[in-house]
Amino acid sequence: MKIDSTIDAKAMQEIIFWSLTLAGLSDLDSVLRQVLSGARNITRADSGSVYIKEGTGLRFSQTQNDTLSQGLPPGKKLAFASFTVPIDAKSIVGYTVQTGQLLNLPDVGCLPSDAPYSFDTTFDALTGYHTQSMMTVPLKTSQGKIVGALQLINAQDERGQWASFSQDLEPLVLFFANSAAVAIERAQLTRALILRTIKMAELRDPKETGAHANRVGACAVEIFEAYAQRRGLSASEIERTKDILRLAAMLHDVGKIAISDLILKKPGKLTAEEFEAMKQHTVLVDQLFSDSHCEVDSMARDIACFHHERWDGRGYPESRCGEEIPLSARIVALADVFDALSSRRVYKDSWKEEEVLAEIAKQKGSQFDPEIVEAFFGAINSVRSVVGQYPD
C-alpha cells in the first residue's frame, strides 16, 4: 500500500519551514536532530537515522523511533551507541553514499535477488522492532559533495498503518536533503573551529582534550533537557537553548591558555599559591568574550567565568551562591566534575561509576544545585550514551 502524495503548496511549506529551522541552528547535534525530525515529518516515517561521512566510513550519529519511544517514561528518550559502517555496496546506506542514489525500498524483507546490498536484521532482533519500508537518501550539497545519508523507516498512511514511501515524495526529500547537507556542513565547520580553539588549550594543558570538551558539552545538554522538562519549558525553547549550550559548554576551560605551563603541566598536586594562579583562568577568559556579538559568546562567557562557583557560595572567582550563578554554569559545573572524575589523568586513575555518582549525590546542595543534580540522575542513561561517543 502506498501513501497518496503530491508535491503541492503544503508540502513545499513544510520544506521551507524545516529549511529555515536548520538555518537558525549552529551546533551539529541540534542540526542532525532537526534534519531527522524534518525528514520524518515530510515522509511520515515512524523512525529513522542519520549517518555522517567520516573518512572511509559512515558514523551512525542520530536516531529517532516513535514506536520504541512509546514505552518510555515521560521525559525519557532512546539511548543509542554510535558505530561506523564502511562506504560500500554491501549495506543499504553504504550503497546510497557510494552511488549517490536514493533508494526507495517497499519491503526490506523482499529485496531484489540481484541487489548488491542486504538488510541487517540485528537491530530488529535486539529490540523486537519490525522494519518494513525504507527510504535511504544521500545528503548531498549543491556542489555534489556527500556528507552522509538519511535512512527513513516505515512510512505510515493516514490510519497509522505501515506503508511504502510514495515515489512522489522522492524529489521533495532530495530537495530537503540538499538543504540538510548544507546545514550539516556549516555546523561541522563551526564545531571544527571550536575544537581547534580547544586544541590550542590542549597544547598548553594535556587534560583539556577535544574528547573531554565534547563529553562535557553533550552531558550538559542532556542535563539541561531533563531540567527544562521538569520546569515545563516549551519544546522550541529547549531546542534553541540546547543548540547554544552545546557549543558554549565546550569552551568552559578555554581561559587556561593564559596560565603558565609550569602550573598547567605539573603532574602532581598544586600548591596553594599555584592553585590561586590557576583560578585566574576564570577571570582572564572574560577578555576573550568582551566583545560578544551572539548568544553563544554570551553563554560561553557565563560558563567559562562561573563554572567553578558552588551552590553554597564557596567557589570562585566571585563566591556567588545559589541562583546568582548562571544556569548554564551550574549545569556545566556538574558535567565537568562528572567527566573529570570518570576520566583517567596523569595524576589519578578514573573513578568507578558508582563512586562518581555517590560523590555527586553527596555534593547535592553544597557544590551543586540540588535541582541540577536531580536532572542529572534523571538523564543518567542518556549521559552514559553520549559519553561513549567521545572516547579519549
Beta carbons of 211 and 195 less than 8 angstroms apart: no
Beta carbons of 82 and 54 less than 8 angstroms apart: no
Per the listing, cell 544545585 goes with: 369
- Interior CA angle at 168 toward 171 and 160, to 5°? 120
Distance CA(366)–CA(330), nearest Å, equals 12
Helix axis angle, 370-378 relative to 353-362, nearest 10°?
A: 150
Question: Would you please indicate which residues are annotated as catalytic (active-site) residues?
Answer: 256
Per the listing, cell 522522492 goes with: 170
C-alpha cell at 280: 585566574
Burial readout 32-60 (b: 16 or more C-beta within 10 A, e: otherwise):
bbbbbbbbbebbbbbbbbbbbbeeebbbb
Segment holding 202, helix H or strand E = helix 170-204
Distance CA(325)–CA(333), nearest Å, equals 10
Distance CA(49)–CA(123), nearest Å, equals 12
Identity of residue 199: K
205: DSSP letter: -
Q: Phi and psi (nearest 5°) for 255?
A: -65, -15
Distance CA(294)–CA(107), nearest Å, equals 47
Contacts of 116 (CB under 8 A, 6+ apart): 89, 90, 95
Beta carbons of 270 and 278 less than 8 angstroms apart: yes
